[in-house]
Amino acid sequence: MVDHDDVDHWVLLGVPGSGWIAAALFVVVLLALAATASWNDDACAKRSCPEGSKPIVASHECVCVVRAEK
C-alpha cells in the first residue's frame, strides 16, 4: 500500500532534471501518490480491528494499533 511516507520521500527527492516537462511530471506523480495514499487511508479505516484498537496504514500495510496511555 502507498502511504504518506511515500509522498514525503517523493517531495524530498525534488524535481528530477530541469525544465517544465520534468516539473509537470513531478507534480502529476506527486498528486497521484497523495491521492492513492488518501484512498488507502480511507480503505484501511473501514476495516475492523479488535476492541480498543484502530486501523492505520503503516509500513505499507493496514495494521491495528492501540494508543499508548499517558
Return the amino acid letter for 4: H
The verdict on residue 29 lying in a domain is yes
Q: Please indicate, yes or no, if residue 70 is contained in any of the structural domains.
A: no
Q: Which residues contact 23 (CB under 8 A, 6 or more apart)?
A: 15
Per the domain annotation, does 12 fall within a domain? yes
The reply to whether 50 falls in a domain is: yes
Per the domain annotation, does 40 fall within a domain?
A: yes
**Is 25 part of any domain?**
yes
Number of domains in the chain: 1
Whether residue 11 is predicted with pLDDT greater than 90 in this model: the reply is no
Q: Which domain holds residue 11?
A: 4-65
Count of CB atoms within 10 A of residue 16's CB? Answer: 10
What type of residue is 45? A
What is the per-residue pLDDT for 6? 87
- For residue range 16-70, list pLDDT tens digits in order: 777 888 888 888 999 999 999 999 999 999 999 998 899 999 888 999 999 888 8
The pLDDT of residue 4 is 85
> Residue written as cell 524535481?
15
> Considering the domain boundaries, does residue 55 fall inside one?
yes
Q: How much is the pLDDT for 61?
A: 92
The secondary structure of 30-61 as a DSSP string is: HHHHHHHHHHHHHHHHTS--STT-EEEEETTE
